Structure 1
């Protein structure tokens, strides 16, 4: 699931020689149930601020590589440059799953770990992976999430990701 620490976590598995079962973004029901599955989720406010910044970096990187179709990446940059509000309203036009709730991605997993509690909960993953290796320190790449929000954008995120606030116990008043 995008913007919930997956790349950081994958690096830990790679560094510790632990092979991951990888089928990209295949849905859980197509993966079988013989393995133990976990997922990380993230405060919807922080996740969207991170998506917004990633949106620009991805578009700039792909355009520099002359990736096709360039129109898609120009559209992403156009959305980014119109501001965070516009991104929340129209970003799904460029990334069709932007408005998909995290709750939809985690159906059927054995454990859900909030990214904000990753270090406290990591022992569950280590137990299943038969590893004692610690998770390295990680620093956030996005500035203070509250700087992205006004009353309108806050309400918009609450409306789009209401199920995430409810299912994972995130406080709608706390950015």
Structure 2
């Protein structure tokens, strides 16, 4: 009877382990990292200037990012200005990375004894490669500077479903909006 109970609970334990692994994978997401200088009076900021990136790679995408940053900050009540007249300067640094990972199936042969006190497994295990996986990410860091000091810093990445320019542009638009969403609005202007 006790052996029968263990057989019924075995699939239940496997399901719990699989759910735990899925939950753990969800915790390791590419969540944006955002920091603000608490002493800054964001309500006093009225104008901004978007600087061109120091690591110029693709002028078309850079212009699109500058335009998106401008649109988001204007939506928060700030006004675009020249470099000399701006209260804050906004810098951005785009980059990309590729992660390669392979998939494999592990096969084990042998005998095992499992119980409450632990487990012992005898046999050999080998891996059979199934295929290659390549994942592309677009990274973006946005820095807001006032009088030579950083007052807002945001960094994040977006996984690209494809590498065509339209997909990259859409991913960057969403990433810029996510990185600047916590920036305090100034509706008094």
> TM-score, normalized by length of structure 2?
0.21
> TM-score, normalized by length of structure 1?
0.22
* Bigger-Rg structure (1/2): 2
Greater fraction strand: 2
Q: Which has the higher contact order (CA 8 A, sep 6+)?
A: 1
Greater fraction helix: 1
